[in-house]
């Protein structure tokens, strides 16, 4: 089992003096996502993506990624998600296969993109600009009026719930809250986009209890997502795909993120620090 943290011995220097000390680092390892598809008697495999991630909640990460890329619409199109055992020893625990329903036909335009996802910049290497703009299948319901007291309390509530951050100080987080600020789901990862995919993957997994639901049809109308770091285009896109109407970030948004938020009806908040924040779209 891959662990989210790794021990290390370091030299700590303070006021010109050095001493040896034990420390903990956040783990960063590649995860290869494969798709199994086709009729039961003739299953095929697609090596879809490699993402640099922190081990943990890998099934949610894979599902969230597939959903926000528009490859699946929900759990009704997935049979199971399993770690691949028939791999090299050094790859064990770092390869996961999503088995799609036999009735599902893959659109080559949605998966022949040579995905490579880094922990710093999100999805790179898509073969066209058009492929960058994944379209949201359903219209988002605007969040409406925001409560500043609820918004400004979110960072502390997220930080209190983080576990790996407490020991490493080097990991991102994404947290889903209800309208009143109650924490619903929190996930950590070395990549901020992975953390958001894990949250969305958790939503998709929960949809299995309702056969008529997809991730975009869950009760997300009154939810708000907080992301550590900056608010990039890919994070806004993921929120829109999942039907989350408000996204807040500790850091700054990009111009394309603001443009997409306005087009999609998303309330976008940035520079959420202390009692201050900026509203860039909606609200």
DSSP string, 98-136: EEE-TTPPP-HHHH-S-EEEETTTEEE--S-HHHH-PPP
Check if the beta carbon of residue 27 is closer than 8 Å to that of residue 2.
Answer: yes
pLDDT (mean) for 264-275: 96
- Percentage of the chain with pLDDT > 70? 84
Mean pLDDT is lowest, of 12-21, 64-73, 195-204, for 64-73
Catalytic positions are: 121
pLDDT of residue 146: 94
DSSP classification of residue 90: G
More confident residue, 40 or 115: 40
Instruction: Over range 69-86, report the average pLDDT.
Output: 91
249 vs 272: CA distance, rounded Å: 6
Give, in order, the Cα–Cα distances in Å from 58 to each of 61, 222, 266, 283. Answer: 5, 26, 27, 34
For 43-47, 60-64, 211-215, which range has the lowest pLDDT when averaged over its residues? 211-215
The SS3 call for residue 205 is helix
Write 157-164 long-range contacts (CB < 8 A, 24+): 157/181, 157/183, 158/183, 158/186, 158/226, 158/228, 161/186, 162/186, 162/188, 163/188, 164/4, 164/5, 164/26, 164/54, 164/188
Nearest to 227 by CA among 182, 275, 173: 173
All structural domains of the chain: 29-132 (3.10.20.10), 148-281 (3.40.140.10)
Q: Collapsing DSSP states into helix, strand and coil, what is residue 87?
A: coil
**Cβ partners under 8 Å of residue 163, min gap 6:** 188
Euclidean distance between CA atoms 20 and 10, whole angstroms: 6
Q: What is the rounded average pLDDT for all residues in the chain? A: 87
pTM score, whole prediction:
0.89
Distance CA 219, CA 279 (A): 24
pLDDT, tens digit, for every residue of 135-178?
A: 665 678 899 999 999 999 999 999 999 988 777 877 899 999 99
CB burial of residue 204 (10 Å; 0-12, 13-18, 19+): buried
Q: What is the dihedral of CA 271, 166, 163, 278, to 10 degrees?
A: -10
Q: Which residue has the higher pLDDT, 168 or 107?
A: 168
Q: Distance between CA 220 and CA 139 in Å, rounded?
A: 12
Who wins on pLDDT, 13 or 124?
13
More reliable by pLDDT, 114 or 33: 33
63: left (phi over 0), alpha (psi -120 to 50) or beta: alpha
Are 185 and 218 a contacting pair, CB within 8 Å? no
């Amino acid at each position: 089992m891959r662990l989210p943290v790794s021990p290390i011995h370091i030299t700590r220097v303070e006021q010109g003096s050095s001493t040896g000390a034990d420390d903990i680092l956040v783990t960063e390892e590649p995860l290869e996502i494969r798709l199994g598809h086709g009729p039961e008697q003739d299953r095929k495999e697609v090596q879809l993506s490699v993402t640099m991630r922190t081990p943990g909640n890998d099934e949610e990460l894979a599902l969230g990624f597939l959903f926000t890329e528009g490859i699946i619409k929900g759990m009704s199109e997935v049979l199971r998600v399993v770690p691949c055992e028939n791999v090299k020893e050094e790859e064990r625990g770092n390869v996961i296969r999503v088995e799609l329903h036999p009735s599902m036909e893959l659109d080559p335009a949605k998966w022949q993109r040579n995905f490579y996802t880094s922990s710093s910049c999100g999805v790179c290497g898509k073969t066209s600009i058009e492929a960058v703009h994944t379209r949201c299948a359903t219209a988002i319901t605007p969040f409406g009026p925001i409560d500043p007291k609820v918004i400004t309390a979110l960072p502390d509530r997220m930080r209190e719930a983080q576990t790996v951050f407490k020991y490493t100080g080097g990991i991102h987080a994404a947290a889903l809250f209800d309208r009143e600020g109650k924490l619903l789901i929190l996930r950590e990862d070395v990549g901020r986009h992975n953390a958001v995919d894990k949250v969305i993957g958790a939503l998709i997994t929960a949809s299995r209890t309702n056969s008529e639901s997809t991730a975009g049809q869950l009760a997300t109308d009154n939810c708000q997502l907080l992301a550590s770091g900056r608010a990039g285009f890919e994070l806004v896109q993921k929120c829109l795909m999942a039907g989350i109407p408000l996204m807040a970030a500790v850091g700054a948004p990009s111009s394309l993120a603001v443009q997409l938020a306005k087009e999609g009806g998303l309330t976008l908040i940035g520079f959420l620090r202390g009692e201050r924040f900026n509203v860039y779209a909606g609200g």
